[in-house]
Structure 1
Amino acid sequence: MLSNTPILVFDIETIPDVATGKRLYPDIATLNDADALTALTALRQAEAGTDFMRLPLHKIACLSFLWFDGQNFHLKSLSLENLSEKEILSTFLRAFDKKPTLVSWNGSGFDIPVIMYRAMHHKIAAASLFNSAQKPDYLYRYGDMHIDLMDKMSLYNGYQRQRLDTVASLCGFAGKGDIDGSQVVPMVQAGEWEKLCNYCEADVINTWLIYLRWLILTGKASLDDCEALMTDTYQFISTLYTHDGGVRHQQFLDDRQ
């Protein structure tokens, strides 16, 4: 059986921080935000061969998380549609006061560093992340307080890291579908917040289902217990609806094996 420790599975979606980009590159400081974003993307492409921004220049547009307390599931998305980035961070960081087991896909390499940079930007305390009263803490990659599944499955070898979509497909789960990270900025620009939140939540659900397979693989939970949790997960998913009454994550139910 799983321990009584609550489990927190999370994922973030980000957009470039144009304001910080203007401070970093004074030549674009007088441009409007749209033109500055174009210039910032071009500068990053020229200096690194990619438009993927340095981690401090990622602004959190959406943060989705699944909370499982041993009995009940809660799936929630916090986005810039109705919260500031500071409010998103403050709300999420409060969850660490309950000392959950944190589960992510590439959380050590991306999500957690971005959260730390953005918390510094907003002058937010994140003491529970460091968990000074108990060692190792959430930032210790070889411990069990934070299970970064990509890191664990690659045996901490960057050459062996796999995409979430690949491993989800291997396990027979829905994967990411027809949306990828390159579409996050256009979704934000178009105000497609429900679409963005659903995309982020799908990553969380995939990560949770892969985590159950990880528990089977490592012998930390029995096959029967994890199968029961998978059944409960699908039942929970079937209760989540979009604004127009459709099942929010129908693809998981369709691909259930």
Structure 2
Amino acid sequence: MNILAFDIETVPDTESGRRILDLGDLDDADTGRAMLHRRRQETGGRDFLPLHLHRIVAISVALRQKDRFKVWTLGEADASEGEIVARFFEGLERFQPDLVSWNGSGFDLPVLHYRALYHGIAAPTYWETGDNAQPFRFNNYLNRFHWRHLDLMDVLAGYQARATAKLDEVAVMLGLPGKLGMHGSLVWDRILEGDIGAVRDYCETDALNTYLVFLRFEFMRGRLGAGAYEEEQERVRQFLKDSEGEHFRQFLKQWHSQPVWQGQ
């Protein structure tokens, strides 16, 4: 397996917001409030910003490669957005893993596109569709119906928007911990408070939940047998046991998954 499950966390791109709204030298907190207020006016109440106005503060990945499994957040806690976005695409260039996400087609990847555009980051392998590498013509990262990027939410919903589900609810349904008390709506507050550590921990648990739902999906579609499925889960458990970090300990403690072949 060469699988990379990933998740991103974002906040308002206040630098662009200041320019677009002509806010001068207004600070980040007030600029963010102005951007959200304008968005509520535009939408009649919703304050979720357009994807091009998100700034990435964390990218966490769960990597299954050869005989190892690892979860981490790209870059150090004080790394710039440009650095962590570049690291993400550099990893794709080097290893060409199969990507796994939850709503990656609808959110994570489009945001990464805009931020790579903003920072001038080249990613030729990611954008390859077969002109220079024939295998990518039939299986690339960009085609919604290809498997080099698997958006679990989209696939499980049968590509029907009305059938989509939240990762947290699907994870809990399967005996996984889900959000562990944190939520995406709290990320901006944590960043304003200077608590990037809490955001990185939260992003890592989302990558974990995504990967474990993916394993269940692989069992469901026959790519993992019952024994192999349990072995892969045990590999994740062992990583959590061996890892530092209270969020990993809490994740392991609240993980109540049962063997699927017993009909649980």
TM-score range, shorter chain: over 0.9
Superposed, which structure 2 residues align to 1:89-100 within 5 Å? Answer: 89-97=85-93, 98-100=95-97
The letter of the residue matching 2:103 is N
1:111 and 2:114 equivalent? Answer: no
Give the CA deviation at 1:145: 0.4
Superposed, which structure 2 residues align to 1:158-173 within 5 Å? Answer: 158-173=161-176
Superposed, which structure 2 residues align to 1:82-93 within 5 Å? Answer: 82-93=78-89
Match of 1:252 in 2: 252
Structure 2 counterpart of 1:70, from 66, 73, 80: 66
Give the CA deviation at 1:201: 0.5
Q: Partners of 1:138 and 1:129 in 2: how far apart?
A: 6
Match of 1:151 in 2: 154
* SS across alignment from 2:8: strand
The letter of the residue matching 2:248 is R
1:43 and 2:38 equivalent? Answer: yes
Match of 2:187 in 1: 184
1:58 and 2:54 equivalent? Answer: yes
1:196 and 2:199 equivalent? Answer: yes
Match of 1:23 in 2: 19
The letter of the residue matching 1:12 is I
Aligned residues of 1:239 and 1:247 also touching (Cα < 8 A):
no
Match of 2:98 in 1: 101
Aligned residues of 2:69 and 2:239 also touching (Cα < 8 A):
yes
Match of 2:140 in 1: 137
Q: Partners of 1:188 and 1:247 in 2: how far apart?
A: 18
Match of 1:228 in 2: 231
User: Which structure 2 segments of 5+ residues have no match?
Assistant: 258-264
Question: Which region of structure 1 is more displaced relative to structure 2, 74-83 or 209-218?
Answer: 74-83
* SS across alignment from 2:150: strand
Question: Which region of structure 1 is more displaced relative to structure 2, 31-40 or 93-102?
Answer: 31-40
Match of 1:13 in 2: 9
* SS across alignment from 1:238: helix
The C-alpha deviation readout for 1:198-237, integer Å capped at 9, x for no partner, is 1101100000000000001111111210111001111111
Aligned residues of 2:105 and 2:144 also touching (Cα < 8 A):
yes
* SS across alignment from 1:124: coil
* SS across alignment from 2:11: strand
The C-alpha deviation readout for 1:35-80, integer Å capped at 9, x for no partner, is 2111111111111121111000000011100111031012111368
TM-score, reference length from structure 1:
0.92
Q: Partners of 2:202 and 2:60 in 1: how far apart?
A: 9
The letter of the residue matching 2:160 is N
Aligned residues of 2:176 and 2:254 also touching (Cα < 8 A):
no
Question: Which region of structure 1 is more displaced relative to structure 2, 201-210 or 131-140?
Answer: 131-140
Give the CA deviation at 1:17: 0.2
Q: Partners of 1:78 and 1:183 in 2: how far apart?
A: 20
Superposed, which structure 2 residues align to 1:115-126 within 5 Å? Answer: 115-126=112-123
Aligned residues of 1:106 and 1:150 also touching (Cα < 8 A):
yes
CA change 1:249–1:197 in 2 (3 A) is farther
* SS across alignment from 2:182: coil
Runs (4 or more) in structure 1 with deviation over 4 Å come to none
Aligned residues of 2:116 and 2:122 also touching (Cα < 8 A):
yes
Percent identity of paired positions between Structure 1 and Structure 2: 35
